Structure 1
């Protein structure tokens, strides 16, 4: 059951990329902490099912089908949250896409544009409209999903690495610009976390899990809820003096 006196009690929150993985886990975590949610993604069936499950648990939740790479979708998403709840207190901009690994010189324009459209332009679109709404509400908190790939580099994924580095730069710029207006903007940098994509990768390559888990001191993949808990903390008032930060949630990978 939701704790309406919890860390996010009374807060209206948008979560993008909410149909699976970290976003779906965040929906559960934020709901348990008392948030009123607008869940957003491109897959309506997944959103409808998750929203129904949360409502069955006593949470306040709605959904909105949106492709955040489209500015008009991001605008309509924020308008829906404002009309549904009368305010916007927090947002978790988590929507993102991965890419097939390939050497930089063999990656075509289409692959580059697809990654940048969601991972960077999507965050940009969300920030613009969320900040405008929060200015009218007297402040708020925004968390953007970057990646360990935004802090370090790896081979054969140059557009993805570039997009996630850019998310951190955008996060810092927004944090500095709007701190005086009561808006905090932070990022999380997840390492390996279990998701549909990761599980399919492990199933395809039985040795992949061992190789991947050796890349971090804790020696395992994160449960998506472990990542979502960090986002929930940053969205809440406990993190009231944290802005412009990027928090690695990576089992120690970036400590090596």
Structure 2
């Protein structure tokens, strides 16, 4: 009988110890390791961090920077284009603003290798572009004559058309070439002619702006030809050879 009681007591004690250990393990799982408590915190922390990152350094910042820079650059280009297109030294400006004789330098020189030709040089000395008639108004006469109604006028190219005026930019020169005697004839030439009269812009300038240039004695003049204004002497010569209409 004693032996049986002893075994029963051991069994009861063993069961009690097992129960205590189970309770201790359950308590450690909840509070000791923090696994169950930390789980939700770990899951929510990355989400919050990602959300915060998206709001502070995400597409809004990048997109804003790019768009603002692009707009500034585009505006800058537009400003430069407007300035270039709407300036005072452009062809379009010249078409609307005839040249002022006070801002022109007009000269007449001989042409090397072509004794019957003269080069008319009209230089824009102003700071803005201006427009000239397609060719200068030219006549040839006697410097001592009181009546110039019979002065000789050259042929010019017919129907120049195109732009409303010949544009001359600031500091640039327009050239026109006249051949006093294209045929090279030595007889039948007009007598007594010793002067070349030039009005740089026959469309807008008054006759009082006409300038007189001496040709010297013995100048031969017969059916002279005058070309259109051009940017080079060579082009002005080519234009002169096409003169076929009385000016």
Which structure: greater helix fraction?
1
Which structure: greater strand fraction?
2
Q: Place the TM-score, normalised by the shorter chain, in its bin.
A: under 0.3
Q: TM-score when scaled to structure 2?
A: 0.20
Q: TM-score when scaled to structure 1?
A: 0.20
